[in-house]
Structure 1
Amino acid sequence: MQLSTFQDGLAAALMPQGAHPADTAPWLSALRSQPGFAVYRNTVHKACINALQANYPTVCALVGEEWFRAAAGLFVQARPPTDGRLMAYGEGFAHFLQGFEAAAGLPYLPAVARLDRCWTESHLAADAPLLDAAWLARQSPEALSGLRLAPHPAARWAWSEEHPASTLWQRQREGTPLDAELQWQGDGALLTRPEGGVQWMPLARAGIAFLDACAAALPLEPAAAHAQQAEPGADLGALMAQLLQAGALCAPPHLDEDNP
């Protein structure tokens, strides 16, 4: 038997509803018949739920631990881990909550879950040099119009059209009362990691649109137009200053030697 066959069969069997071609192999059937195997499988299942709870702390705080762990157990059955780093586990949980009947009365919950996921992804993202504001200011108008600014690998942004998900998420994370002057309207958030720790701040619709355009590799001029279209009258200068200060943009990989 190849080692990979053994590893794949064992990994699938440890999941609550694991299915793998090796599941019917005599060696695996004999292993699963052992009384201790169920204990081992339950331990793995519990570890996955614990990881999901750690990776979605805001969702858990909003719904309560009992509700969350029941939902997490169903998610683990449907989407077992594929990465040995359990800190990265949970991609797709927001989408799962959208179709989860028990969450139908909490329509903002998937958007809050997306922000929890943004925090994890920002925390785990690769390092990269930040775009320098002084360098950007030295560029000519012609160079700026065609410049393609890439979001920093650790930058994450999200917009909730109907619910103040960003405000709910931020207040829960910071321990602020959830009902303190809360306006029930859509909002957005930006998460970055400029100095080694994840930071977050509100981000207007124009900022979301601008970063979407940058992520699509649009040059600066059409990206700015995209932001203005999303939020007419937006102050693009103030927006750029906010993104630079937050560390949301990445330095170009190759600077122009004639225009350093």
Structure 2
Amino acid sequence: MQLSAFQDGFCAALRTDTPAPAWMDALCAQPGFAVYRNSGRKAALDALRANYPTAVQLVGDDWFFGAAQAYLAVQPPTDGRLMDYGAGFAAFLAGFAPAAELPYLSEVAQLDRAWTEAHLAADAPPLAASWMASQPPDALGAAHIAPHPAARWLWCNEHPAYSIWQRHRDGLSVDAALPWQAEGALLTRPRGAVQWCALPRAGTVFLDACAAGRPLAEAAEAALAATPEGAPETLAQLMALLLASGALSTPAGAKDTT
């Protein structure tokens, strides 16, 4: 038997949603194998709980454990590095019937996931304001500036998901006076630690455009079009926020002008 075939059969036997090959019957019948299987399940469930701390705070341990078990049954880990486990959990919660009374839970889970992705993302030099100031206007407008690998952003049209998430993360109370309105969020890792802040709609549109490869001038036009009339934010303020938070990457081949 090839090693890969044995490994596939062994993994199938560890799962409860797929049939194990017949030649694994003797091994599966041993009491120790059940302990091994349960240990693997517990590790996955513990990882999911660790990766979604704000969701756990919102629903409690027992509710979350039930949801995590249901998720594990349909999306078991595919990588031994369990810190990255649960990429689809927020989408799972959006269709999870018991979560219907918490319509913001999926977006809060997305922010938990964004924290994990920002934490695990590759290092890269953030874009410096001095580089932008050194560019001729035409060249700057034509530049393609990508979001930083650690930048994650989210816009929620229906719920103040960011305020709910941020207050739990910062140990603050969520009171009845919380404005129920659309919100955006930005998570970055400018100095080795994940940070977060509110982001206006124009900011999410700008980052979407940059991620799609559109030149800076077009991304700026899209951001201006998404800015509500009379809004206090300006494009200059938005760029200052994105630069200060390290949300943009230095273009390839650009020289450091600091």
Normalised TM-score (structure 2): 0.95
CA shift at 1:180, angstroms?
6.5
CA distances 1:129-167 after superposition (whole Å, capped 9, x unpaired): 111110111111111110111000000000111000000
Alignment of 1:24-63 (within 5 A): 24-26=21-23, 28-63=24-59
Q: How many residues align?
A: 255
SS of residue paired to 1:249: coil
Match of 1:231 in 2: 227
What per-residue deviation string (whole Å, max 9, x for no partner) do you get for residues 42-71 of structure 1? 111111110000000000000000000110
For 1:150, what is the secondary structure of its paired residue?
A: coil
Runs of 4 or more off by more than 4 Å in structure 1? none
CA distances 1:195-221 after superposition (whole Å, capped 9, x unpaired): 100000000100000000000010011
Amino acid at match of 2:221: A
Match of 1:176 in 2: 172
Q: Which amino acid aligns with 1:118?
A: A
SS of residue in 2 equivalent to 1:135: helix
Is residue 9–residue 21 contact of structure 2 (8 Å, CA) maintained in 1? no
The residue type paired with residue 223 of structure 2 is A
Q: Distance in 2 between matches of 1:138 and 1:151?
A: 20
**Which structure 2 residues correspond to residues 58-207 of structure 1 after superposition, within 5 A?**
58-179=54-175, 181-207=177-203
Distance in 1, matches of 2:80 and 2:13, equals 16
Distance in 2 between the 1:9 and 1:166 partners? 43
CA distance in 2, matches of 1:43, 1:8: 19
Q: 1:199, 1:67 → 2: CA distance?
A: 28
Counterpart residue type for residue 110 of structure 1 = S
More displaced stretch, 109-118 vs 177-186? 177-186
* TM-score where L is the length of structure 1: 0.94
- AA aligned opposite 1:238: Q
| Cα displacement string for residues 60-114 of structure 1 (whole angstroms, at most 9, x for unaligned residues) | 0000000001100110110001111100000110110011000000000000000
Aligned to 1:210: 206
Structure 1 residue identity aligned to 2:245: A
Q: Does 1:5 align with 2:37?
A: no
Does the aligned pair in 1 maintain the 2:147–2:207 contact within 8 Å? yes
Distance 2:79 2:139 in 1: 42
- Aligned residue identity for 2:91: H
| Percent of residue pairs bearing the same amino acid type | 58
Matches of 1:120 and 1:8 in 2, distance apart?
29
* Partner Cα separation in structure 1 for residue 177 and residue 146 of structure 2: 36
Check conservation: 1:16, 1:41, Cα contact below 8 A. no
Aligned mates of 2:161, 2:16 — CA distance in 1: 32
Tell me, in whole angstroms, the C-alpha distance in 2 between the residues paired with 1:11 and 1:194.
39
C-alpha RMSD of the superposition: 1.6
Q: CA deviation at 1:12?
A: 2.0
Alpha-carbon offset, residue 120 of structure 1 = 0.2
Which residue identity lines up with residue 17 of structure 1 in the other structure? D
C-alpha deviation, 1:3, in angstroms: 1.2
| Other structure's SS at 2:91 match | helix
